Structure 1
């Protein structure tokens, strides 16, 4: 890790995680989830203000995930090479620019552009945090010192669930534009913390030479970055996500383009001296691939609930944006408690199984809801969803930390988010297809069946994964 020796010095007699790194790590990592969730209660007010139906405002969700899915592994690879500081500062600065553009946007097109900027701007926070955890672990000789992985999971979980409530409060006070303007002070705080707290990269730590077969040669910047590999990866991912955003046979060419770009990407990466994504290593890492698969289906359920259920509570049940966010307080409280308590456990498999069961039960309850259901039924659904919300993110994050190549921690963490966002794109497409022009009860039930199918698949992927026992063994160090 490039910054393993470049961090602020701590007493050498009792080495421990440098707590001064926590504020920028935590704030940077939550910029994406806060923008992912706060928009949930803003979709209906934005649609009313700009005259756009739910099928069009769904692009506000898709645009951010499209940009972030592409940007996370790319920025993560840059962090693996150059260290987190510069990438963190550039990205979080872009978040502030996106906040200004969104707050002043005259139409839906500009607003979608602002969400794209937010997607790219929030790319560095999570990979940078994971890279810092790894570098501090190497410096101190302790895996995840001080339970920092748990702190990251709890922080992300807190923001993810409190986002709709915060969004409803902001909309009630200043309208939907305040949900974009919020990014300006957050970006300023993140940049200042990054300047003051993040370690400067050591130029000597950035590898410029590579030894192959006993021959040492100097590598150019382009070779180390693998720009052709990044370009092919972008073509593959963008084509796939554009297809997923609006599933229809008339768009078959996008799927064909994704397959062609994927094949070219695989050929390039298998031959590259310094690949963007080392498929030879990744392909032999079955536990990590299984974790990525679980992340995809888990987030289909999570984001379908976040966006679909929230829209229904406003349009199908009649709650205001503020009260729609308020209805998720049970999930917020329970998820935080579950994350804190489960962070002390060494069992990854147990967390995943319980999280899968929680998703399935919540989907079954949603199938019983209607426009005349009592309010306590909505609160019950939110409460049940608090269990998987508190368990899944932590278990998946810990799995990647211990399963990934230590030299590619940031890019592996970025790929975890990419698979999660592919799941969110599937969720966004399923939500738009289920609701159409109006988020009614029939559409909610159609969406619930999609969620239930994904939840069952998540359970099966966990039940038949024999590698989880080894990940559980690592969990002891993760919570140390």
Structure 2
């Protein structure tokens, strides 16, 4: 009996159902980035010990991946809007395997950082492709009500985040830190095989004519966008007076990018449309601030539990598990509720409470208090990511779903870069308790800003709710 026969017997036509064959590649593609994010959190200290690098240098392993992904996701998202997800998905996930080989055999920190750059570009297609497929399936079936699929994406990311630190600790214990890079080879093979199931040419927009590809892609705009992000990251990673020129480069490149996008016939990021979409801009701002807190905890707190508190990488991974388990439960319980304002408000309060609790920790604190902290952090972890994802889906231009989803991740990764830079500046050569407390104060300030942005955004009252008839 075919799936179509089953659907007909149940009174539901196959053409009105979401194609479930798309779900496995969507899920695996979207989790390639978070699995590498969480695994590296417990690998930073062993890598630093093996290669003689302090936290201020190993922080580049975090920032390199997110810089590449922040640059690549909007670009790949735009290509997905034009051509559909299949080709971009296959090329990107194949690059993940190449990055795994380079990282496994890296002789020094520089090559290892290069492998993380490759990995960042390789994980670019997963999330924009998934969001574009949700949109195209909604159009095909005539049922644009993707709460279940969007929740599944969020839960998949949270589930991988649960596995990541523990898996990283296990891999390090069994085969050393290089095994955390080798893991990407089988993941890449599986993603490519599953990606062959994706439909050909299932884009959300019109494909460009031959000879107009460069104009459609807006290569000058992409280059200026890259220059702006790169100079900003370099400044954040070198917070000293002598680096002021990097801010000047950021300002000049950013101004050039704005001028280019306002004049381009087919801009890479349509600033005119974006400027007129205040709710979407507010969502991007919230994403940046929320992920400053989230990633500072993931990387900074984990390094402190190993160096300042004395846990092994495996046990440091175990301490993170309550956060991700709580996030999964919260996502499952609230996932089908479309309204996002209440989720964001509770998430903001949860972040502030967790930061205050973090300030009370010392090297003599009992382990159960670390677990309680992780549990508290799990509430905003589950609420914020889900609410931000749903906000973008409902607020974005349907013809630019892929690039809009990519931009959400770009702002999230900007937050991760800020978190990485502040973590490196707070700790210096050693991840001690004083540095952890300094980082907690920065996280607290970001959490308060997140709350203020949410409270003052009146448009959130309508976000995710169907319009009145």
Q: TM-score, normalised by structure 2?
A: 0.95
Are 1:142 and 2:138 an aligned pair? no
- 2:455 aligned to 463, 470, 476, which one? 463
- The answer to whether the 8 Å contact 2:41/2:302 transfers is yes
Contact persistence 1:398–1:475 (CA under 8 A)? no
Distance 1:460 1:204, change over 3 A: closer
Find the counterpart in structure 1 of residue 65 from structure 2: 64
Question: Of the candidates 372, 381, 384, which is equivalent to residue 380 of structure 1?
Answer: 372
Aligned to 2:191: 190
Query: Of residues 227, 242, 261 in structure 2, which corresponds to 1:235?
Result: 227
Distance 1:222 1:167, change over 3 A: same
Q: 1:262 aligns with which of 254, 276, 286?
A: 254
Moved over 6 A (4+): 202-205
Corresponding pairs, count: 458
Instruction: Answer whether contact 1:133 1:144 (CA < 8 A) is retained.
Output: no
Matches of 1:207 and 1:56 in 2, distance apart?
A: 43
1:213 match: none
Tell me, in whole angstroms, the C-alpha distance in 2 between the residues paired with 1:251 and 1:409: 37
Tell me the secondary structure at the aligned position of residue 57 of structure 2.
Answer: helix
Contact 1:68 1:120 in 2 (8 A): yes
Alignment of 1:65-464 (within 5 A): 65-145=66-146, 147-195=148-196, 197-201=197-201, 206-208=206-208, 220-464=212-456
Change (3 A) 1:125 1:24: same
Deviation at 1:220, TM superposition (A): 1.0
* Deviation per residue, 1:185-226 (Å, 9 max, x gap): 00000000001x1001179974346xxxxxxxx871111111
Deviation at 1:301, TM superposition (A): 0.2
CA distance in 1 between counterparts of 2:467 and 2:190 reads 33
Name the CA distance, whole Å, in 1 between partners of 2:202 and 2:353. 50
Task: Give the Cα–Cα distance (whole angstroms) in 2 for the partners of residues 247 and 344 of structure 1.
Answer: 43
C-alpha distance in 2, partners of 1:474/1:219?
41
SS of the residue corresponding to residue 360 of structure 2 reads: coil
Partner in structure 2 of residue 48 of structure 1: 49
In 2, the alpha carbon distance for the partners of 1:239 and 1:124 equals 24
CA contact (8 A) 1:314 1:320 kept: yes
Contact kept, 8 Å, 1:291 with 1:396, in 2: the verdict is: yes
Q: Structure 2: how far apart are the matches of 1:272 and 1:465?
A: 31
Q: Which residue of 2 aligns with 1:214?
A: none
Q: Which residue of 1 is the match for residue 4 of structure 2?
A: none
Shift of 1:279: 0.6
Structure 1 length-normalised TM: 0.93
Alignment match, 1:5: none
Output the CA distance in 1 between the equivalents of 2:202 and 2:67: 33
Structure 2: how far apart are the matches of 1:297 and 1:389? 13
Superposed CA RMSD: 1.7
Q: Is the 8 A contact 2:82 2:203 kept in 1?
A: no
Q: CA deviation at 1:344?
A: 2.3
Q: CA deviation at 1:143?
A: 1.9
Q: State the alpha-carbon separation in 2 of the partners of residues 284 and 348 from structure 1.
A: 21
Range with greater deviation from structure 2 (150-159 or 287-296): 150-159
Offset of residue 158 of structure 1: 1.7
1:135–1:250 CA distance, 2 compared to 1 (3 A): same
CA contact (8 A) 2:128 2:406 kept: yes
Distance 2:199 2:207 in 1: 18
After superposition, the C-alpha distances for 1:101-142 in whole angstroms (9 at most, x for unaligned) are 101111111100100000000000000000000000111111
Q: What stretches of structure 1 of length at least 5 have no aligned partner?
A: 1-9, 210-217
In structure 2, relative to structure 1, the CA distance for the partners of 1:50 and 1:475 (3 Å cut) is farther
Please say which of residues 273-282 and 324-333 is displaced more in the overlay: 324-333
How far apart, CA to CA, are the structure 2 residues paired with 1:474 and 1:364? 37
- Once the two structures are TM-superposed, the CA of residue 231 in structure 1 deviates from its matched residue by 1.1
Question: Is the CA contact 1:313–1:319 (under 8 Å) kept in the aligned structure 2?
Answer: yes
1:156-175 deviation per Cα after TM superposition (whole angstroms, max 9, x unaligned): 12222431111111111111
